[in-house]
A and B are shown apart, each in its own frame.
Chain A
Amino acid sequence: MTTIDNDSAGKTAMALLTLQGVDKIYRQGELEVRALQEIDLTVQEGEFAALVGPSGSGKTTLLNIIGGLDAPSHGSIQLNGTSITTLKEAELSDFRLFQLGFVFQAYNLVPVLSALENVELVMVLQGRDVRERRERAEHYLELVGLEKVMQRRPAALSGGQQQRVAVARALAAGPRLVLADEPTANLDSENATALLDIMHRLSHEEKTTFIFSTHDRRVMERAERIITLRDGKIVSDKHIGQESHEQMA
């Protein structure tokens, strides 16, 4: 596997995300748990990066903090030129709505809406008009290969299909960054591979940055950058060259 050191990588590309000195401390009574420690991280536009590490290493916490779902105890986060740590609740909500896409481990979708309506939902919240959101929703569902099951509700879809709807929903809203927390954790090998392929392909086609957490080796193999966390610290950050992927393939 060919790797590139983080410092020399992507200097010409524009930094989409910058974390500086981010700490997250949870307090349970008198007990302090340092979930993240002194995280410094820069992600360029268009990257397809994996956060890896054992359970409890801080992957989900880091994604939540990047996504504005949780606040850091210390440090600053700049996303697309906005310091999200200074945003108020309503501004954060808007920021997530227009700048970020989310794919969670499971139960991503609203059960009472069809696949098509689920994809449209974020665009409804964005205030896009009916025709535009319908066209975009259908387009992205086609891109993830679900054009034949658009009208089905989540309960009538397989786990892999549900995750693909979640990816379509995340991308249809036109985000700058998609955060995926263990997106393949509940999928079998075939579905996990298919989902990663779709995410990877769309990342390139849509020029959308993906950061996803995983401890699934199959997923890691498709990442272009692997950031390894242990005990809340980044212990390694490697860019993987195209040739490595070709070798792996």
Chain B
Amino acid sequence: MKHSDQLHADASRLPMLLFIAWRNIWRSPVRSILTIGALAGGLVMVILYAAMMEGMIRQMVHQATAISIGHLQIHRQAYVDDQDLYATLPWSYLDTIAGVFPEISLAPRLYASGLASTAETSTGVLIKAVDPAREPQVTRMLQQVRQGKMDLGPADDSQDGLPRNNLVIGAQLAKNMKLQPGSELVLVTQAADGSIGNALYRVAAILKPLEPNFDRMGVLMSIAAYQQLMYLTDGFHELVIRLDDATDLGVMQAELDAELKKLVSEQPLDELGGTPVVRNWRQLTPMVADMLEISKTITFFVGFIVIALASMGMLNTMLMAVHERTHEFGILLAIGMKRRWLLLMVLLESFFLGLVSALTGVLLGIGVIGLFGERGIDFSGMLPDGYDWGGIVFEPYMKLHLEPLDLLLACLLMLVITLLASLLPAWRTVRLRPAEVMR
């Protein structure tokens, strides 16, 4: 018989084999339901785990991009290497880039370090200056207020006649320095011209924890206030960029890089600060990027282990089923059923058990995730400030996000593992000698 004829012959028997296989799994309903329950339970665990991982990754990416980093950032090389105060990009660069790429949102930032003092205490701080008008277009940093009101303008309630600006500080810094909205502090720093810059500020608000360093040492002010303090007016340290569609990240990064090269040739920069570099959020937060890379692999292995353990039940069920039906298989072989059809029938039984388990597990998994709702797993009672991990502060709840592809892969994984688990019983079936088993 030709191979194609054989395939056709096998295909014509398939409906009957499917029919028998389906009915066979319901011969011992209690046993099948227990097996399905174990497999479906395992799949629910895998789905929940995958949803937690995906939710955490998304939260991580969200924290990284939407809250503080943006999709892309431009610095000068000396700033990347040494946080060189003088490695600034000219303001004209901002205008040019904004003109060339009107579809992207841009926000400049400046940084410095200094000493914050109150009447009782003083501590080192990291100063971050933002443009209150542009920053909300690229990140939601200014919306992350825990206490007080976001205001980076001049303070309007000074009673002693001294000018002062508002600033916003990190939650841990506020706690360490016992500062509240309305408290005042003095910042002392070495200005860009070498002089000692110092000024009085009023705390307008305290931020929620965003990233551990900023939470502990961060002081946020307007660029105008920064320029007054630092005497650094000819440029900015960082240009944060947000794209409408982050799928074109690589393309935009390359275009920006090309545009900067052109800009450098047209508007040369000083040599000390180095060339401008464009980095995407993956390069800026390598740990998040690494987590993204390995999370799928980890999920796969966890899924494999959980389902493989659950499949031991399937193996037991099929071994029992085959053992109980050796006489019946002998009859089928005797009346002319080919061994490969018998093998297929046993594999189909496993396939159906796996399929029913997968469907049950998926429905239960979706239901369980639905029960947790939009917020996911809430542990704000234990950790009201959230928790930091990998340099990123997470909100005190774990969102569960189910990717349809993860769901499909989990089901496929289950079907493959259950089929693998049924190979041994199927193999035992095809080795049966009808004359022996019917004796």
Contacts and interface: CB of A to CB of B under 8 A. Distances in A.
Interface string B319-343: 0000000011001111111110100
B15 to A, nearest CB: 8
A94 interface: yes
B334 A67 contact: yes
5 cross-chain pairs, A with B, having the tightest CB-CB distances, nearest first: A97-B336, A112-B23, A70-B435, A69-B435, A124-B16
B13 A112 contact: no
B2 interface: no
A149 B24 CA distance: 21
Interface string B22-46: 0110110000000000000000000
A96 interface: yes
B163 to A, nearest CB: 90
B439 interface: yes
B337 A93 contact: yes
B434 interface: yes
B438 interface: yes
B435 A64 contact: yes
Given A70-B435, A93-B339, A122-B335, A127 B13 contact: yes
Contacts of A70: 433, 435
Interface stretch (A102-110, A135-143, A197-205): A102-110
A173 B178 CA distance: 94
Given A93-B337, A104-B438, A110 B332 contact: yes
Chain A CB within 10 A, most for which of B13, B337, B341: B337
A98 B339 CA distance: 16
Contacts of A241: none
B25 to A, nearest CB: 9
Interface in A64-80: 64, 67, 69-70
A112 B337 contact: no
Contact of A127 (B9, B332, B339, B439): B9
Given A107-B327, A121-B16, A122-B336, 6 more contacts: A69-B434, A69-B435, A97-B336, A113-B20, A124-B16, A169-B335
B334 A111 contact: no
Contacts, number: 68
Interface string A83-106: 000000110011011101110100
Interface of A: 60, 64, 67, 69-70, 89-90, 93-94, 96-98, 100-102, 104, 107-108, 110-113, 121-122, 124-127, 169, 173
Given A69-B434, A110-B328, A124-B13, A98 B20 contact: no
B12 interface: yes
A225 B20 CA distance: 39
Given A64-B435, A69-B334, A110-B20, A125 B328 contact: no
Contacts of B434: 69
Interface residues of B, number: 26
B24 A90 contact: no
A51 to B, nearest CB: 16
Contacts of B335: 96-97, 101-102, 121-122, 125, 169, 173
Interface in B228-244: none
Contacts of A102: 331, 334-335
Nearest to A101: B335
Contact of A108 (B26, B331, B339): B331
Contacts of A125: 13, 16, 335-338, 341
Given A64-B435, A112-B24, A93 B336 contact: yes
Contacts of B338: 90, 93, 125
Contacts of B27: 111-112
Contacts of A90: 338
Nearest to A70: B435
Contacts of B439: 60
Given A70-B435, A127-B12, A111 B336 contact: no
Contacts of B9: 127
A178 to B, nearest CB: 11
Nearest to B336: A97
Contacts of A111: 27, 328
Nearest to B333: A93
Contacts of A173: 335
Nearest to A122: B335
Nearest to B24: A112
Contacts of A100: 336
A211 B12 CA distance: 32
